[in-house]
């Protein structure tokens, strides 16, 4: 399939590009000038340099799908409210409108588990149709973008799937995140101070997330004008402590995991786990 991809130099987007190209898809990928993928690619897509705000109708024409990962403010990046809503909502919406006008029929958009916010605390397993109660600017911008995408799909009669990955980890992730930090300490023989590790999460390998987006290109259950939302996870929640202990042993680390050396964050959500189910409309 001929596809147009945004955010292909990001963490999840880089892994998606690797798999999509390996599967033989014809990929045009938008990137900011100077950006490079977070992992090596055996083959390269057709790169186009620019921003979401540019007009890409000519490149979108003839594409069977738009796969949208691009966003500002992804941890550990900082962005202002104005930047977040300008890029994650307005510029993204402009691109989606251009894509619909260019005849693109299928849209696969990367949402965020943090769109659920406070409502996630009320569920043992958060369903995809849980209320959106974001608690920060990034999550609010992603929730607003989701609402815009859903309405656009209904109005334009396009096929839309919003996928919300939960706690993604793997190669190419920013070094300040938990898994890369843990790996760095293990490989250098250092001790690793962390919380008591009682938080329960669904830690999903980035390759599995990329697989979910890739599979969305070939799905036959998406219907024009009836957008859907799905959570992306393993369906196997575990504590942060268990997650750390598994990888510490996997890497044969010589140092020690120092549980309780770091306090929980204020208002830490102790359980934030998705329900993995069929498409929610």
224-234 residue pLDDT tens: 999 999 999 99
- pLDDT over 60 at 281, yes or no: no
Mean pLDDT for the chain overall: 96
Partners of 5 in beta bridges = 29, 67
Q: Are 277 and 205 in contact (CB under 8 A)?
A: no
Q: Are 262 and 195 in contact (CB under 8 A)?
A: yes
Check residue 267 and give its pLDDT.
Answer: 87
Q: What is the pTM of this model?
A: 0.96
pLDDT grade, residue 64 (50/70/90)? very high
Partners of 159 in beta bridges = 106
Q: Are 28 and 50 in contact (CB under 8 A)?
A: no
- pLDDT over 90 at 277, yes or no: no
| Stretch 37-52: mean pLDDT | 97
pLDDT grade, residue 20 (50/70/90)? very high
Q: Are 29 and 46 in contact (CB under 8 A)?
A: yes
- pLDDT over 90 at 278, yes or no: no
* pLDDT tens, residue by residue, 8-19: 999 999 999 999
Check residue 179 and give its pLDDT.
Answer: 98
- pLDDT over 70 at 22, yes or no: yes
- List, in order of start, the domains of the chain with CATH numbers: 2-168+203-232 (3.40.50.720), 174-201+236-272 (3.90.25.10)
């Amino acid at each position: 399939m001929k596809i147009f991809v945004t955010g292909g130099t990001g963490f999840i987007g880089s892994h998606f590009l690797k798999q999509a190209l390996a599967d033989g898809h014809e990929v045009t990928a938008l990137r900011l000038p100077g950006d490079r993928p977070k992992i090596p690619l055996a083959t390269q897509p057709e790169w186009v340099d620019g921003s979401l705000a540019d007009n890409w109708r000519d490149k979108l024409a003839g594409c069977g799908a738009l796969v949208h990962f691009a966003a500002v403010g992804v941890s550990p990046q900082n962005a202002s409210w104005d930047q977040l809503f300008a890029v994650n909502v307005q510029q993204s919406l402009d691109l989606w409108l251009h894509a619909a006008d260019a005849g693109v029929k299928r849209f696969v958009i990367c949402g965020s588990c943090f769109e659920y916010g406070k409502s996630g605390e009320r569920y043992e397993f958060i369903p995809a149709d849980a209320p959106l109660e974001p608690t920060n600017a990034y999550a609010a911008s992603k929730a607003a973008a989701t609402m815009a995408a859903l309405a656009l799909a209904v109005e334009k009669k396009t096929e839309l799937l919003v996928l919300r990955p939960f706690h993604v980890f793997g190669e190419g992730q920013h070094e300040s995140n938990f898994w890369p930090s843990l790996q760095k300490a293990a490989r250098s023989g250092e001790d690793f101070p962390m919380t008591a590790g009682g938080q329960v999460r669904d830690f999903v390998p980035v390759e599995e997330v990329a697989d979910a987006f890739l599979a969305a290109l070939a799905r036959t259950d998406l219907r024009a004008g009836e957008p859907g939302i799905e959570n992306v996870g393993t369906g196997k929640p575990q504590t942060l402590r268990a997650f750390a202990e598994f990888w510490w042993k996997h890497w044969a680390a010589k140092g020690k995991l120092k549980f309780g050396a770091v306090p929980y964050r204020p208002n830490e959500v102790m359980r934030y786990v998705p329900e993995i189910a069929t498409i929610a409309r």
